[in-house]
Amino acid sequence: MSQKVTARSGGRAVAQLLLRGAVGGTMIAHGLKHGRSLDGTANWFGSIGFQKPKLQAQASAVVEVGAGTALVAGAATPLSAAAVVGTMAVAARSVHLPNGFFITSEGWEYVMNLATASVALASLGAGPLSVDRAIGLDKKLSGRRGAALAAAVGLGAAGAQLATFYRAPAAS
What are the tens digits of pLDDT across the range 13-42? 999 999 999 999 999 999 999 999 999 999
Residue 4 domain flag: no
- Provide the domain limits for residue 111: 25-165
Q: Exposed, middle or buried, 2 (CB in 10 Å: 0-12/13-18/19+)?
A: exposed
Residue 171 domain flag: no
Residue 70 domain flag: yes
pLDDT tens digits, one per residue of 36-73: 999 999 999 999 999 999 999 999 999 999 999 999 99
Residue 161 domain flag: yes
Residue 155 domain flag: yes
pLDDT tops 80 at residue 171: no
3-class state of residue 166 by DSSP? strand
pLDDT tops 60 at residue 88: yes
Closest to 155 in 3D by CA, of 118, 110, 101: 118
Residue 65 domain flag: yes
Overall number of domains in the chain: 1
Q: How far is C-alpha 91 from the chain's CA centre?
A: 11
pLDDT at 2: 40
pTM value? 0.92
Residue 148 domain flag: yes
**Residue 132 or residue 4, greater confidence:** 132
Report how far residue 68's alpha carbon sits from residue 112's, in angstroms, rounded to the nearest whole number: 17
pLDDT at 1: 39
